[in-house]
Amino acid sequence: MQVISLEGDRVVMLDQTLLPGEERIIECESTECVAEAIEKLRIRGAPALGIAAAFAMAQTAVRSRGRSREEVLEALRRTYERIKATRPTAVNLHAALDRVMRSAEASDDPAEAAVSEAMKIYEEEQEASRKLCEHGAELLRDGDVVLTHCNTGMLATATLGTALGVIVTAWKQGKRLRVFADETRPLLQGARLTAWELVKAGIPVTVIADGSAGYVMRTQGVSKVIVGADRIALNGDTANKIGTYSLAVLAKEHGAEFYIAAPLSTIDPNIESGEEIPVEQRSREELEFFNGRRIVPEQAEVLNLAFDVTPAEYITGIITEAGVLRPPYEESIRRALRL
């Protein structure tokens, strides 16, 4: 199944907000359509967001062919600014925009350069996911009880996946695993998307409420927690879907190994620690209403955080295409990035 693709001057993607009930394809013919899809989480997951951003730039480039060099660059800059404003936390999105823009500005044919760089980003993410999943699967043992959070599979990466891809790869190697998937508030990506992917892969999964994770760790013998990431600082501090920090603290208390699975493209070389990571807040309406009915009093304040930041001290290892990075992360991350 194709999660996202570039077909001529159209960005084609699966609308993830409708899963698991309906599999509907969106064909975006404008930058605004792609931006809206990102903002509404029709496409989501750090690597997939990077691909979506790159494809939005490529779409503009294709539509600008035949214009002057400056006209093409100006069109690309408008797309750059619109897509950049959609999501503040996921570094892949911003990095992809920067890469495509730099390539266009350095070329005599900016339209062709933009399309070429966008496809290169897509291909690199595919290869990174494959290698990452192989490295991560080596960490899993037959009989492991694994807990995961949010959605980090094909839907989040447009390829094998990160944390969920590691689980699926290990299962295909013949390792019998028990998998618990947090429902993941506020938009239930774990219940809707992760469970859907695991069921389609034929892997038994048990969906649990976010608030029950600690008790499940204590009573069900959870041995490993594997999650994805939206941005990783140079010291290993990691931003991921809200609830991840709580899982890391619980894992340490219950003796479970806690892994981040993310491509090197999710590491932000421009920030030293998690204190510099912007944490997105989503609309209060997402928590105030259920099935169209108000469930929170209007007078109550609402803090709807989309992400949290897990300090590196709680992370057992960071699974990347370059291997599993271990503490001290200040050293292993810089080596992996060749800084």
- The tens digit of pLDDT for each residue in 48-87 reads 999 999 999 999 999 999 999 999 999 999 999 999 999 9
Find all residues with CB under 8 Å of 300, minimum gap 6, and list them: none
239 and 165 within one domain: yes
Tens digits of per-residue pLDDT, 282-330?
Answer: 999 999 999 999 999 999 999 999 999 999 999 999 999 999 999 999 9
| pLDDT averaged over every residue in the chain | 97
149 and 125 within one domain: no
pTM for this model (two decimals): 0.94
CA of 49: how far to CAs of 7, 34, 39, 130, 321, in Å?
17, 10, 10, 18, 18
Distance CA 98, CA 96 (A): 5
Instruction: Answer whether 317's CB lies under 8 Å from 333's CB.
Output: no
10 and 159 within one domain: no
The last residue of a domain, from among 103, 129, 155: 129
122 and 140 within one domain: no
Amino acid of residue 116: S
Tell me how crowded residue 331 is: count the other CB atoms within 10 A of its CB.
11
User: Mean pLDDT across the stretch 141-160?
Assistant: 96
pLDDT at 2 over 90: no
* pLDDT band, very low/low/confident/very high, at 186 (cuts 50, 70, 90): confident
224 and 148 within one domain: yes
Q: What is the DSSP letter of 189?
A: H
Catalytic amino acids? 230
201 and 112 within one domain: no
Distance CA 36, CA 56 (A): 12
Beta bridge partners of 240: 308
What pLDDT score was predicted for residue 1? 72
The last residue of a domain, from among 78, 108, 129: 129
> 323 is in which domain, residue-wise?
134-337
The last residue of a domain, from among 98, 129, 160: 129
| 46-63 and 31-39 helices, crossing angle to 10° | 170
314 and 263 within one domain: yes
What CATH number corresponds to the domain at position 239?
3.40.50.10470
The candidate with the shortest Cα–Cα distance to 117, out of 94, 136, 90, 98, is 98
Distance CA 120, CA 54 (A): 9
Report the number of distinct structural domains present in the chain: 2
